Amino acid sequence: MNGDGVAQDYDAAMQRFLAADEAGNKKAARYVGLLYEQGLGVEQDYVQAAFWYEKGVSAGDLTSGYYLGLLYKQGLGVEQDYKKAAEYFTSIAASENKSATGVIDAGYELAQLYEQGLGVEQDVDRAIALYQEAAEYGHEAASEALGRLGQ
């Protein structure tokens, strides 16, 4: 049970997400990717997760790009590539819709890359600006990073 009185059925969820993807739902691929990434109802498979996140990105789902950026940053299912991670995080962090899932987190992830000079030229001032924006939206780790940087 998931606490809501409904038994979790990841097989049924997968079938629904696959059907929604076939019907053109741009978010469905993200959820298929999450099931593969987390090994829910299927064997954990980062390669499949990356495939589905890429499909979500192609359909225009910002949050799929956030998850794909994380895979590139961590080297899970794809070859580790900080530059690609930065590209995904940059496109998402620039979104006007700061309440969309992953937008603030993408800014935080991008700030880490700027702070460390991974995939982008090191720019601590840019990192601080990104941390500040994320902190304004309640991102605790961004607030901690600002404290660590003396801000």
76 plus 89 within the same structural domain: no
Last residue of a domain, one of 80, 108, 128: 80
6 plus 58 within the same structural domain: yes
115 plus 68 within the same structural domain: no
pTM of the complete model: 0.90
> Environment class of residue 145 by beta-carbon count within 10 Å: exposed (0-12), middle (13-18) or buried (19+)?
buried
pLDDT at 1 over 60: no
Cβ atoms of residues 65 and 53 within 8 Å: yes
CATH number at residue 137: 1.25.40
Q: What is the average pLDDT across 85-90?
A: 96
Radius of gyration for the chain, computed over Cα atoms and rounded to the nearest angstrom: 17
97: left (phi over 0), alpha (psi -120 to 50) or beta: beta
User: What does the block give as tokens for 35?
Assistant: 């099931």
Last residue of a domain, one of 50, 65, 80: 80
Q: Residue 131's pLDDT is what?
A: 97
pLDDT tens-digit profile of 98-135? 777 788 999 999 999 999 999 999 999 999 999 999 99
Number of domains in the chain: 2
70 plus 104 within the same structural domain: no
Cβ atoms of residues 88 and 122 within 8 Å: no
98 plus 127 within the same structural domain: yes
pLDDT at 3 over 60: no
Dmax of the chain from CA atoms?
50
CATH number at residue 48: 1.25.40.10
Last residue of a domain, one of 80, 105, 129: 80
User: What does the block give as tokens for 85?
Assistant: 């991670």
Domain that holds residue 65: 1-80
85 plus 127 within the same structural domain: yes
Dihedral through CA 8, CA 49, CA 142, CA 115, nearest 10? Answer: 170
22 plus 67 within the same structural domain: yes
13 plus 70 within the same structural domain: yes
Within 13 Å, how many C-alpha atoms sit on residue 31's CB side?
A: 16
pLDDT tens-digit profile of 16-74? 999 999 999 999 999 999 999 999 999 999 999 999 999 999 999 989 999 999 999 99
Pinpoint the alpha helices (H) of the chain: 10-22, 28-38, 46-59, 62-74, 82-93, 103-116, 124-136, 140-148
